[in-house]
Structure formats: structure tokens, C-alpha cells
Chain A
């Protein structure tokens, strides 16, 4: 009996625990202390204040929890608080970016702005709009998608369903290499071809460069989605006497279609913001040009860049650039929402 000196097991299952609101109090406390330290030490960067508060919050949570609740719960809480801090670190810059864009962008963003071009407006004068740039972006990105999405999806199908041996390894290798191509290099590649044929800038040339950038992203995401389709479904279909290609078409692709579309949408979002290849190949154009196969066009990212760089600090041009940025962000966000919607709508149904 006397050999057991201390038994660490609690006598009841109910341990001491901090109240639900304690994280908020600790957070408020650490912010207050951080502000105090910041003012006292004369730190003028708010970022430093925030980081001090974050460190205080993590340490404070650990100290208080280990005093009240014990070691194991304290570790649990420190993990939770680290996740929260990481979340805030990620969200704060994003939120402030969106906020800055909205704040400055709404100034000139109206229906007139969306439906007029810069045709007769000087770079430094107020007025004008981005209609021509929207048309350009939609056409260039749309054509790039028409090229890259089918090729990318087919490549992924080859790699997952058929690819064996050296050819598949080579394809995978080249896809990896393509993922790393800087956009300006893709632009230069197309430009070198254009120079051989002595062509002038036009929208479709930009589409080709964008397609080069988009393809590996589509291949990768589609590959992952196809790998997620359980092998049992393929076998079930094959065992019914369905040929392999029909199995892929009717069983594998429909099962993965939600994820595949999401991947394509995200790839579109990625190339919609590319400036470098568009600058090289499409050149930019203040007038409306609906034909992507002839003549220079504008595009949203290029428009933003040119408004900044060509206006020598004129206020109206800055406003237009911000408004165009807001439009571009909205465009990408709508695509993301669309992708989520499609993914949810197409996801394999499990309800009764």
C-alpha cells in the first residue's frame, strides 16, 4: 500500500477547466499589454504591436491553461492558439488588400466605367473606362481555356488511366517543368514565333502564352482528382463488360467532374491576372477591338499597369487603375464562387 507515493490520476473525470470566454479575455489582455509595451518602448510600427500581441497571446494561453487545467490541456490550447494566430497572419494582409482595393476602386467604378473604352480620353484626363480591357481579358482568357482545358484534362486522363513506363514519366517531367515556366518566358517563346512570321501583336498570341501557363495547372489538378476516384468503380464498370474508354467517359469523369471544374476555374483565375505575356504579345490598345485574331487588344492587368506607368502620377489614371483592379478581383472571385458552386452541385450524392 505504501509503495504508491502519489497517484496522478484525478479522482473524478471532471477536471478543472477554463471558462468558454477565457480565450477572448486572454486575447484582449495581450492586445492591451502589447499596446502598452509599444507605446512605452516607442515602437511606431503597428505590425510590431500585432506580433507582440500574438506572442503574448500564445504564451499567456499556455501559462494560464497549465496553471488551471494541467499540462495536456495546455498543449491542446497552445495548438489552438497557434492555429488562430496563423489564421490571422494570413487573413490580415488579405483583408487589408481587399479593403484598400475596394476603398480606392469604388471612386470611379460605375456603369459608365464598365461600358466605355479609353478611345478618346487622354491618359491623364478623367473619364473613360475599361470596356475594351474587359473584352480583351474575356476573349484572351476564354481562348486560352479552350486550348488548355481539353489538352490538360486529356493529358491527365492519359497519365492516370493509361500512362505506364517511360512516356508517362517523360510527360510528368515536362508538366513539372512547365509548371515552373515564368510567364514572361512563355511570352517570349510565343513572341519569337511571331517574329519569325513577322506578325503584329494580337489577342490570340496572348492566349497561346496563357494556355502554356494554364496547361500544367490543369493537368496537375485533374490528375489528383482522377486519382481520388476509387478503383473499385472502374473495376465495377469493367466487370459489367463496359470498354475502358467508356468507363472513363461515363464513370470516372462524372465522378471527378466537380473537382476537375474547380481546378480549371482556379487555373483561369491564375492566368486572368497575368500581365507580362499580354504586354509582349497583345501590346495594349485604348480602342475597342473585338477581334482577338487581328490587331492589338487591351486586357485588365495590362490596363492597370499602363494606367500607372503611362500617366506620370495623374490622379484620374490612378483611380482608373484601382477601379480596374477591383473589377479584376471581382472577376476572379466570381470564378471561384462559380467553381465552388459547380463542385457542390456535381459532387457525388450521398443523401437518401
Chain B
């Protein structure tokens, strides 16, 4: 299921503003890759180019190549809708659909895409909620509104919703930034389990979190405000945190700037 992502020479624009410039990297399947870097350096922008969500923003434009195994996501004739089925996404702020129940939220992707038998749906919903470590907390209120859950539960609900459609890659943009330490831990554990099945990319501002959950870490930086963000280096997490090859990375990790 999990697929490799191969990015080469990728730049992304908002109108005429170039937010990220010439990024090349490989994201290994069945592993967790963390993106770190100062605010505004383009981590979210880059993440959103990986499932063609960047172009949803008015004026959003991308140059370069993103290979998912052996298919270029930006080749002519590629349907962004099917790309997004392969590459799922969890957002920084939990965003369950307010008109839907917990059950319908998890089933949303499937229901909106095709027709499933009720029993099939039940199975997938339970499996996804279990996968997101949420089943025990919500199994008695599957028909209550999803927005009635706590923030941490809502975020795990969004993860369940994302994994219910069985993507190959899961992108997470600061999934724990609005959560308490316990929910954060629950989600970190979950990430550890999910990487058995998915390729996971996670943006985080929390160094410990990057060190705890990721196998590889990419450090982004920007020369100055208004300049495009760039990939400084990507390496095994252990190396990045103990012995990075670029001075700026070490400065950032040890808190000397940013």
C-alpha cells in the first residue's frame, strides 16, 4: 500500500510570490518523515503540493515534479481528485463536518465517493476508529454530532476519516499543535502504528516530537522574510539531532534562532 514520494525541483507560488523554491527530496515508504523549520518557511505549502491541495488556494501554482512511485502527480492528464484519494491529509485544526455524526464523519469519504453496503461501512468505520485509537471513547455515541467531541477526540476523528479511505500516504500538518500532552501522546503512538501501513509525513514545531516519532527529518529555512523557503537538509532523524551536516540546522535545533 505505502508508496515512495520523489520530489524534484519543486517550487510553489501564491500568485507571483514564490513561497518555496527548488525542493528535491525522497520520502521513504513505511516510514515517518518530519518537516521542521521556522514559521513561514513553507512547510505547509510544501506539504500541500504533495496531494495537489496547493492549487485549491486562489493563485496557487506549482512547478516541478512529484513522483508517487512511478507516476508524476503534476503530469498532464492526472486527476487531482484521484491524487487526493491516494494521498490523505490531516489538518492543523480539527475540522470534522459539523452536520454529520461521528459515524458519518468517518464514513464521509466512502459515502461521498461510491456506494457501500451498510455492513461494509460499519466494518470500515469501526476499523478506522480503532486505528485512530478512538473507538472505545465514541462507540456509544456514534450517532452524536462529531463536533461535540473534545479537541483531541476531534483530531483523532479526522485521522480516522482520513485513513478510512485507505490512502497510500498520510500528510499531517501540525496535527498536535492544538492538543494536550495526553492526546498528543495518543496521536504519536498512533503515528507509530500507522507507519506500518502508510507513508507518513508530519509537520511539527515540536523538536521532541520530531525526534520521538520520525525516522527521517527535513529541515526547511528561508533566507529572509519575503524570500522563498528552501530545503536545507534531510537525513535520518538521529543524525539531524546529533550531528547535522549544516550549521543552520544545528543552530535551529539547539534553539539559537527561529
Q: Are the C-beta atoms of A237 and B147 separated by less than 8 Å?
A: no
Contact with A along B134-175 (1 / 0, CB 8 A): 000000010011011000000000100110010000000000
| A238 CA / B80 CA spacing, docked (Å) | 9
| A164 CA / B95 CA spacing, docked (Å) | 26
Question: If the complex has contacts A246-B112, A350-B145, A350-B147, are A239 and B99 also in contact, measured as CB distance less than 8 A?
Answer: no
Residues of A within 8 A of B89 (CB): 239
Residues of B within 8 A of A164 (CB): 58
Question: If the complex has contacts A250-B112, A251-B97, are A238 and B147 also in contact, measured as CB distance less than 8 A?
Answer: no
Say how far A165's CB is from chain B's closest CB, in angstroms: 11
Residues of B within 8 A of A250 (CB): 112
| 9-residue interface stretch from A10-18, A227-235, A299-307 | A227-235
Say how far B116's CB is from chain A's closest CB, in angstroms: 14
Interface residues in A220-261 (C-beta closer than 8 Å to B): 230, 232-243, 246-247, 250-251, 254-255
Q: Are the C-beta atoms of A237 and B108 separated by less than 8 Å?
A: yes
7 contacts between A and B (CB under 8 A): A230-B95, A232-B91, A241-B88, A241-B109, A242-B81, A242-B113, A350-B148
Contact of B165 among A230, A232, A241 (CB under 8 A): A241
| A243 CA / B114 CA spacing, docked (Å) | 12
A93 part of interface (Cβ distance < 8 Å): no
| A246 CA / B111 CA spacing, docked (Å) | 11
B53 part of interface (Cβ distance < 8 Å): yes
Interface residues in B61-88 (C-beta closer than 8 Å to A): 81-86, 88
Say how far A158's CB is from chain B's closest CB, in angstroms: 15
Q: Are the C-beta atoms of A349 and B98 separated by less than 8 Å?
A: yes
Say how far B53's CB is from chain A's closest CB, in angstroms: 6
Say how far A80's CB is from chain B's closest CB, in angstroms: 35
Q: Are the C-beta atoms of A238 and B99 separated by less than 8 Å?
A: no
Q: Beyond the given A232-B93, A349-B98, could you list 17 further A-B residue pairs with CB under 8 A, ordered by the A residue number?
A: A230-B95, A232-B95, A233-B97, A235-B56, A238-B84, A239-B88, A240-B88, A240-B109, A241-B113, A242-B112, A243-B81, A246-B112, A255-B98, A255-B99, A350-B98, A350-B147, A351-B145
| A254 CA / B165 CA spacing, docked (Å) | 22
B11 part of interface (Cβ distance < 8 Å): no
Residues of B within 8 A of A242 (CB): 81, 108-109, 112-113
Say how far B93's CB is from chain A's closest CB, in angstroms: 7
| A255 CA / B145 CA spacing, docked (Å) | 13
Q: Are the C-beta atoms of A239 and B51 separated by less than 8 Å?
A: yes
Residues of B within 8 A of A238 (CB): 53, 56, 84
Closest CB pairs A-B (n = 9) = A241-B85, A348-B98, A240-B109, A239-B89, A349-B145, A352-B148, A241-B84, A232-B95, A242-B112
Q: Which residue numbers of A lie inside 8 Å of B, CB to CB?
A: 164, 230, 232-243, 246-247, 250-251, 254-255, 348-352
Q: Are the C-beta atoms of B56 and A254 separated by less than 8 Å?
A: no
Q: Are the C-beta atoms of B91 and A349 separated by less than 8 Å?
A: no
Residues of B within 8 A of A236 (CB): 91, 95, 97, 158, 161
Residues of B within 8 A of A234 (CB): 56
Residues of B within 8 A of A350 (CB): 98, 145, 147-148
| A351 CA / B58 CA spacing, docked (Å) | 34
Residues of B within 8 A of A255 (CB): 97-99
| A254 CA / B97 CA spacing, docked (Å) | 10
Say how far B146's CB is from chain A's closest CB, in angstroms: 9
Interface centre among B56, B99, B162 (most CB of A within 10 A): B99
| A255 CA / B98 CA spacing, docked (Å) | 7
Residues of A within 8 A of B86 (CB): 241
Q: Residue of B at shortest CB range from A244?
A: B81
Residues of B within 8 A of A352 (CB): 141, 144-145, 148
Q: Residue of A at shortest CB range from B164?
A: A240
Interface centre among B58, B83, B148 (most CB of A within 10 A): B148
